[in-house]
C-alpha cells in the first residue's frame, strides 16, 4: 500500500498491426499503444510498452526487475520468444510480479508454462456479440463494472478451456452463436498473480471499450507485485532447515 505508482509493462508481439490494415485501422499505435492509453492518465500507474522486435524482446532482466505487472498480448509469434526469456518471465512471476495474459496469448509459451496444461479451446471468428457476465461481484477486478460487459462484435472462444481450475473465476462469457467461456480467470503462482482475460481480437475495438479498460486497470491493481521488494530477500525455497530443538 505504498503511494508509489505501480509499474505496468505492456508487451505486444506487434505483428498483426504491421501486416494487416484492418488491425492497424483499429489500433493505429498498435494494440500496446491502445492498452497504454488505459493507464496513462491514471496517477496510480507508471506505464511502459515493449515489443518483440526490441533487444531481448524488450524483456531484459532490468526491465522485469522494475516491473510490478506485465501485460502480454501475442497471436502469431508465440514461438518466436526464446525459451530463456520465457523462463526469465516465469521466474519473475514466481517471485511476485503480476502477469495479465490477454486473448490469443492463451497459446503463449509463458501462459502454457505457468498453467502446465495444453490451454487449448474452441474458437470461431464471426463478429458475434459477446457478453461478459460478472460471476464474482465484490471481487476487486470487477469494481465499478456493474453486472456485465457487452461487446457488439468479438471472436468466440468456447469451452472446454484446458486450464487448471481457476483459483477465482470472475467473468463468464456468453456468445451469440451458442457457446460460453470462462473469460476472467485468476491464479496464484509462487508469490505472483496471473489473470487471464479473454476478449481482444485485433480487428474489433475491444481495448477502447471503457469497461474493458476499467477491468484492465483493476486487474493491474489486483496483480501488482507486493511486499517482496520491501521485505528484503524472500523466504528462500529449497533451503536446508536446521533442526530446531524444542524449548
Interface of this chain with its own copies, residues 87 to 106, rule: CB under 8 A? 90, 94, 96
Binding residues among 64-83 for its own copies as defined by CB under 8 A: none
DSSP secondary structure letters along 146-203: -SEEEEEEEEEEES---SPPPSEEEEEEEETTS-EEEEEEEEEETTEEEEEE----TT
Binding residues among 178-197 for its own copies as defined by CB under 8 A: 178-180, 182, 187-193
* Site track 4-43 with its own copies (rule: CB under 8 A), x = hit: ----------------------------------------
- Pick 18 or 118: Cβ nearer its own copies: 118
Stretch that binds its own copies, among 18-26, 56-64, 76-84, 107-115 (CB under 8 A): 107-115
The verdict on 46 binding its own copies (CB under 8 A) reads no
Bridge partners, 47 (sequence order): 8
Closest approach of its own copies to the CB of residue 221, in Å: 7
- Pick 27 or 175: Cβ nearer its own copies: 175
Positive or negative, the CA dihedral 237, 94, 194, 223 is positive
Out of 53, 82, 118, 208, the residue judged to bind its own copies by CB under 8 A: 118
- Pick 175 or 207: Cβ nearer its own copies: 175
Q: Are strands 98-102 and 192-197 parallel, antiparallel or unpaired?
A: parallel
Angle at 29 between CA 61 and CA 92, to 5 degrees: 20
Out of 28, 164, 208, 210, the residue judged to bind its own copies by CB under 8 A: 164
Q: Are strands 6-12 and 45-51 parallel, antiparallel or unpaired?
A: parallel
d(CA 129, CA 192): 33
Give every CB contact of residue 6 below 8 A, 6+ residues apart in sequence: 44, 45, 46, 68, 69, 220, 221, 224
The verdict on 156 binding its own copies (CB under 8 A) reads yes
215 is written with which cell numbers? Answer: 477491468
Stretch that binds its own copies, among 20-28, 45-53, 68-76, 124-132 (CB under 8 A): 124-132
Binding residues among 199-238 for its own copies as defined by CB under 8 A: 221, 226-228, 230-231, 234-235, 237-238
Q: State the number of binding residues for its own copies (CB under 8 A).
A: 81
90 is written with which cell numbers? Answer: 516465469
Amino acid at each position: 500500500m505504498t503511494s508509489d505508482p505501480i509499474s505496468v509493462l505492456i508487451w505486444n508481439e506487434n505483428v498483426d498491426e504491421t501486416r494487416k490494415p484492418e488491425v492497424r485501422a483499429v489500433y493505429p499505435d498498435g494494440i500496446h499503444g491502445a492498452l497504454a492509453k488505459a493507464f496513462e492518465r491514471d496517477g496510480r500507474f507508471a506505464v511502459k510498452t515493449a515489443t518483440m522486435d526490441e533487444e531481448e524482446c524488450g524483456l531484459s532482466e532490468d526491465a522485469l526487475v522494475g516491473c510490478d505487472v506485465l501485460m502480454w498480448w501475442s497471436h502469431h509469434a508465440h514461438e518466436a520468444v526464446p525459451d530463456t526469456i520465457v523462463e526469465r518471465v516465469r521466474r519473475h512471476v514466481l517471485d511476485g510480479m503480476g502477469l495479465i495474459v490477454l486473448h490469443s496469448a492463451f497459446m503463449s509459451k509463458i501462459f502454457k508454462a505457468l498453467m502446465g496444461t495444453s490451454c487449448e479451446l474452441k474458437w470461431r471468428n464471426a463478429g458475434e456479440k459477446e457478453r461478459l457476465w460478472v460471476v464474482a461481484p465484490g471481487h476487486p477486478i470487477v469494481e465499478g463494472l456493474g453486472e456485465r460487459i457487452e461487446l457488439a462484435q468479438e471472436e468466440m472462444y468456447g469451452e472446454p478451456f484446458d486450464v487448471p481450475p481457476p483459483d477465482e473465476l470472475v467473468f463468464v462469457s456468453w456468445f451469440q452463436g451458442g457457446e460460453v467461456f470462462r473469460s476472467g480467470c485468476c491464479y496464484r503462482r509462487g508469490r505472483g498473480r496471473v489473470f487471464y482475460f479473454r476478449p481482444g481480437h485485433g480487428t474489433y475495438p475491444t481495448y477502447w471499450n471503457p469497461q474493458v479498460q476499467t477491468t484492465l486497470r483493476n486487474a493491474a491493481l489486483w496483480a501488482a507485485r507486493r511486499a517482496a521488494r520491501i521485505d528484503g530477500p524472500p523466504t528462500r525455497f529449497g533451503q536446508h532447515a536446521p533442526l530446531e530443538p524444542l524449548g
